[in-house]
Amino acid sequence: MITDKKFEQLHTERLLLRRPTVEDANAIFSSYPTQKEVTKYLLFLPHESIQDTLNFIQWSDEQWEKKGGYNFILCSKADEGRVIGGVGLSLEGLDDEHESEEPTLPAGVARVSYYIVKEQWRKGYATEACKKMIELAIEVGITKLVAPVHPDNLASIRVLEKCGFQEDAMVCEMLVLPNLRKENLVGFGRSLSLSDPPPTLTWED
């Protein structure tokens, strides 16, 4: 599955969401991926060199071009487009055939993820970005979003709850978070349909 290129740039009230390019490497590297506080609960180690960031951009391209993933950097409209985070959907489960040996999600299910640079925490950006991913998921035919989250990551849990997610035992997974030890995560899910639009949220919520 090749991701639709018309979604390579999306807008919210305060954010530009766009597909990362090699030209963004320095801006990304100087942002969230080098901050241990940000990557603590994520599935990648902090970036130690610009090459780590270039590898990430290559991975992102593979998601867009081959695996049906939507991966974005978050750029602040108020701060001249400065990179302040990232957000994405993993859509590998939408295809019936997969060349990858990695585990895939069931058809119609996508995993949402988001992360914000430490200096911009508690300003509603994660909620704003997650809401946009709900809108995108509905538009591309996703029927359910899931989000495994570490039980100590209370801020992320709060974002999911504000965006209409509920705890879902079927989503619980055993994942190795490279910055922590292997342990059970809390599963959150939200069923989607065109007749069930995302909640109306403002960034202050």
Task: For residue range 43-65, list pLDDT tens digits in order.
Answer: 788 999 999 999 999 999 998 98
Whole-structure pTM value: 0.81
Residue whose pair of structure tokens reads 């992102």 in the numeric block: 60
Is-contact 102 86, C-beta < 8 A?
no
Q: Per mean pLDDT, which of 1-5, 45-49, 83-87, 102-106 is the most reliable? A: 83-87
Q: Tell me: the pLDDT tens digits for 94-135?
A: 443 334 445 567 778 888 999 999 999 999 999 999 999 999
The rounded distance, in Å, linking the Cα atoms of 104 and 98 is 8
The rounded distance, in Å, linking the Cα atoms of 110 and 143 is 8
* Phi, psi dihedral angles at 95 (to 5 degrees): -95, 145
Q: Which two tokens stand for residue 170?
A: 């079927």
Express as a percent the part of the chain with pLDDT over 70.
75
Question: Taking the CB of residue 148, how many other CB atoms lie within 10 A of it?
Answer: 20
61-70: average pLDDT: 86
